[in-house]
Structure 1
Amino acid sequence: MLTNVGGADRVARIIIGLALIALGVTGVIGWWGLIGVVVLATGIVRVCPAYLPFRFSTRKKS
């Protein structure tokens, strides 16, 4: 599988995803916190579907 999410991007997505989920669960931002699940998932699997059509990648070339 092609990965297109690099190291710093991955860490940021995981932290932001967890924060959004926590804010949603505590009721601070309501149901908008569910967006955190998508952000967290893209950080974990290292693939961002929004990057694919543009052939964009934050991953370093090896």
Structure 2
Amino acid sequence: MRQNISDSERIGRGVLGIWLIVIAVGALRARRRTVAAIAGIAGIGLIQNAVTGFCGGNWLFNIDSTKE
């Protein structure tokens, strides 16, 4: 897979992903399982984007922010 997100976007997605994981843990402790599941899945997806530098949504819509 070719990278299609810029370095600054990777940092933003990583920070947001970690924040969503923290929200998921807090929601799980408060027994709000639906919120925990949604936040956890979204957080894991954003962290995966940050680590690999590839976003399937950007690829689908032919967006490449590395060229900017």
State the TM-score, normalized to the length of structure 1. Answer: 0.84
Of Structure 1 and Structure 2, the greater helix share is in 2
CA offset at residue 60 of structure 1? 3.3
Larger CA Rg, structure 1 vs 2: 2
Instruction: Number of aligned residue pairs: give it.
Output: 61
CA offset at residue 22 of structure 1? 0.6
Unaligned runs of 5+ in 1: none
Computed over aligned residues only, the root mean square deviation of the Cα atoms, in angstroms, reads 1.6
Instruction: Report the secondary structure of 1:50's partner residue.
Output: helix
The amino acid of 1:33's aligned partner reads A
Unaligned runs of 5+ in 2: none
Q: Describe how 1:39-54 pairs up with structure 2 within 5 A.
A: 39-54=46-61
CA offset at residue 46 of structure 1? 0.2
Q: Equivalent pairs: percent with the same residue? A: 20
Deviation >6 Å, runs of 4+: none
